[in-house]
Amino acid sequence: MNLNPESLRYILGLKLRHHRLDHGWGLKELAKKTGMSVSYLSEIEKGRKYPKPDKLIQMAEALEISYDELVSPRVAEHLRPVRELVSSSFLREFPFHLFGIEPEQVVGLVTEVPAKAGALLSSFLEIGQSYDVRVEHFLFAALRSYQQLRGNYFEEIEEAAETFLDEKGWAQRTGLPSTDLQTVLERRYGFVIEESLLADFPELADLRSVFVDGQPRRLAINPRLLEPQRAFAMGRELGYLRLGHKLRSQTSGYVRVESFDQVINDFEAAYFSGAILLNQKSLVADLEALFDRPAWSSEVFEGLLAKYQTTPETFFYRLSQLLPRHFDFQSSFFVRFANAAGEPVFRLTKILNMSGLPIPLGMEPGEHYCRRWPGPAMLGKVRTGERVQLKAHAHRCHFVADDEEYLLFTLTRPLALTEASNTSISIGFRVDDNLRKRIAFCDDPAIVRSEVHTTCERCTLEGCEVRAADPVVDRAARRQEAREGALAALIKKAQA
Q: What percent of the chain has pLDDT over 90?
A: 45
Q: What percent of the chain has pLDDT over 70?
A: 83
> Amino acid identity of 307?
K
Mean pLDDT of 213-229: 92
| Burial of residue 152, with CB atoms counted within 10 A of its CB: 0-12 exposed, 13-18 middle, 19 or more buried | buried
CATH architecture of the domain covering 152-277: Orthogonal Bundle (1.10)
Q: How far apart are CA 143 and CA 124, in angstroms?
A: 20
Give residues with Cβ within 8 angstroms of 248, minimum separation 6.
Answer: 211, 240, 262, 265, 266, 269
Question: 245 pLDDT exceeds 50?
Answer: yes
Residues spanned by CATH 1.10.10 within the chain? 152-277
Superfamily for domain range 5-133: lambda repressor-like DNA-binding domains (1.10.260.40)
State which of 103-107, 108-112, 371-375 shows the largest mean pLDDT.
371-375
Q: Are 452 and 399 in contact (CB under 8 A)?
A: yes
The pLDDT value given to residue 97: 65
Residues spanned by CATH 1.10.260.40 within the chain? 5-133
- The H or E element that residue 56 is part of is helix 53-63
Q: How far apart are CA 300 and CA 445, in angstroms?
A: 18
Q: Are 374 and 396 in contact (CB under 8 A)?
A: no
| Burial of residue 171, with CB atoms counted within 10 A of its CB: 0-12 exposed, 13-18 middle, 19 or more buried | middle
CA dist list (Å): 315 to 40, 107, 309, 387: 54, 42, 9, 21
pLDDT in tens, 251-262: 887 767 777 788
The pLDDT value given to residue 100: 63
pLDDT in tens, 179-218: 999 999 999 999 999 988 888 888 888 889 999 999 999 9
Q: How far apart are CA 44 and CA 475, in angstroms?
A: 53
Q: How far apart are CA 74 and CA 230, in angstroms?
A: 52
Q: Are 238 and 213 in contact (CB under 8 A)?
A: no
pLDDT in tens, 310-368: 988 899 999 999 999 999 998 888 888 888 887 888 888 888 888 777 665 544 557 88
- Go through the chain and tell me how many residues it has: 496
Q: How far apart are CA 329 and CA 339, in angstroms?
A: 30
pLDDT in tens, 9-35: 888 888 888 888 889 898 999 999 999
Question: 128 pLDDT exceeds 50?
Answer: yes
R_g over Cα of the chain: 28
Mean pLDDT of 459-469: 88
Question: 412 pLDDT exceeds 80?
Answer: yes
Of 64-73, 225-234, 378-387, which range is least confident? 378-387
Q: Are 347 and 426 in contact (CB under 8 A)?
A: no
The pLDDT value given to residue 4: 73
Mean pLDDT of 225-235: 94
Mean pLDDT of 367-387: 81
Higher pLDDT, 57 or 359: 57
421-430 and 404-414 beta bridge pairing: antiparallel
Q: How far apart are CA 60 and CA 62, in angstroms?
A: 5
The pLDDT value given to residue 362: 47
- The H or E element that residue 283 is part of is helix 280-291
Instruction: Provide φ and ψ at 398, rounded to 5°.
Output: -100, 115
What strand order describes the sheet that includes 332-340? 347-354, 332-340, 421-430, 404-414, 391-399, 448-452
Task: Please tell me the chain's helix, strand, coil percentages from 3-state DSSP, rounded to the nearest 5.
Answer: 50, 15, 35
| Burial of residue 231, with CB atoms counted within 10 A of its CB: 0-12 exposed, 13-18 middle, 19 or more buried | buried
Of 143-157, 227-241, 354-368, 421-435, which range is least confident? 354-368
- To the nearest 10°, report the CA torsion of 158, 161, 165, 167: 110
Q: How far apart are CA 3 and CA 73, in angstroms?
A: 8
Q: How far apart are CA 285 and CA 291, in angstroms?
A: 10
Among 206, 183, 193, 320, which Cα is nearest to 252's? 206
Q: Are 334 and 316 in contact (CB under 8 A)?
A: yes
3 state SS of 123: helix
Whole-number mean pLDDT of the chain?
Answer: 85
Burial profile 88-114: b = 16 or more Cβ within 10 angstroms, e = fewer: ebbbebbbbeeeeeebbebbbebbeeb
The pLDDT value given to residue 442: 95
> Amino acid identity of 66?
S
Question: 165 pLDDT exceeds 90?
Answer: yes
391-399 and 448-452 beta bridge pairing: parallel
Cis peptide leading into residue 216 (ω within 30°): yes
CA dist list (Å): 21 to 5, 17, 113, 349, 363: 24, 6, 11, 49, 42
pLDDT in tens, 38-56: 999 988 887 888 999 999 9
DSSP-H helix ranges across 64-153: 67-71, 80-86, 89-93, 103-112, 114-130, 135-149
Question: 291 pLDDT exceeds 60?
Answer: yes
Of 127-136, 265-274, 311-320, 366-375, which range is least confident? 127-136
